[in-house]
Amino acid sequence: MRLKPLYDFELRPREPFNFYLTASCYNFNWWFDGSKCVIPLSSSPPLVAVARQEDSELMVTVYGVKGGREDVAKMVEHALGVNEDLAEFYGVAGRDPLLYEVPRALSGMRLRTTNLWNAMLIAVCQQNSSFAQGWRMLCRVYKLMGKRVELDGLTTIIPPSPREFLVDSARGLLKEAGLGYRTETIVRVAEAVERGLLEGVEELSDEEAEKRLKEVKGIGAYTARLALVLSQRRYGLLPLDRWLEKIAREVYGLGDVEAGLRARWGRWCGLAVFFTTVVLDAEVLSKALKRALTGNVKPTLRRDKLSPLTLWMHEVC
């Protein structure tokens, strides 16, 4: 399907802002090519924004099949975090043995968000899997079930909607993507979305939002919190998995890891978890722990090494 350019607008991000790092991290090459960042906004009707940087401004072109939406500028602002003030977080990170490189090596980088449904898809793929395994599964899901569209010669993918996971062929495609037991969880999430059970989550408190998501069988605290961080920037939540628990226990000497990290990172827990995976290149636990204990917490930007910041340079599926 070919989408036509509908209109353009400009955004001026709060400084410091690093577009390249924001657009490249945890991204695929059909959404970032080194200069342009594709932001899927809607699958039905198809609507996509493409952002690029010119001097201190972001130039955004919106593509679709008809008029678009009035809130597109706000959606792009939220997706790229252009108005976030991270000065307080940089103060916390600068004193932290895991995160002290963030204000220096990653200054101006923001977490890029997506909608709640897609965030839950990402989070489920991360259940009991390494970075490479989880993102390989996700890549396959997008390629097998996503909608391919063309934008002025650029071919990209719009993530599949929940409804596409409820057709008869969906389970077979998800198993082909290697999701295993996660297949049933994803289908249940899709059912919950289609039935409207997750509507209004953004209006709930952190605790109530987490509880609502956990009502879906197969969604635990880690998955729910990660999805809420990735979709709604709920940084007060702490997505704690075995990888982070082991690293935090060793690096900080914590007994109660969750309580200890909440005391250390405060209202920035979710963002701190995100950046911990980035500075340690989301390495497997043994390698990440060794790096953390020796203070090697500067992210790798080598093209030949798969990491959150170089994912877009690789064909992972």
Per-residue pLDDT tens digits of the chain, which is 317 residues long:
999 999 999 999 999 999 999 999 999 999 999 999 999 999 989 999 999 999 999 999 999 998 777 899 999 999 999 999 999 999 999 999 999 999 999 999 999 999 999 999 999 999 999 999 999 999 999 999 999 999 988 999 999 999 999 999 999 999 999 999 999 999 999 999 999 999 999 999 999 999 999 999 999 999 999 999 999 999 999 999 999 999 999 999 999 999 999 999 999 999 999 999 999 999 999 999 999 999 999 998 899 999 999 999 999 99
Buried b (16+ CB within 10 A) or exposed e, 200-236: ebeeeeeeebbebbeebebbebbbbbbbbbbbbbbbb
Sorted by where each begins, the domain ranges of the chain are: 1-82
55-90 pLDDT, tens digit each: 999 999 999 998 777 899 999 999 999 999 999 999
Say whether pTM exceeds 0.95.
yes
pLDDT per position as a tens digit, 108-152: 999 999 999 999 999 999 999 999 999 999 999 999 999 999 998
Crossing angle of helices 242-252 and 269-279, in 10° steps, is: 90
DSSP state of 15: S
Contact of 170 with 137, CB cutoff 8 Å: no
Q: Note the helical H segments in the chain.
A: 19-24, 72-80, 87-94, 102-105, 116-125, 131-145, 170-176, 182-194, 206-213, 221-232, 242-252, 257-265, 269-279, 285-293
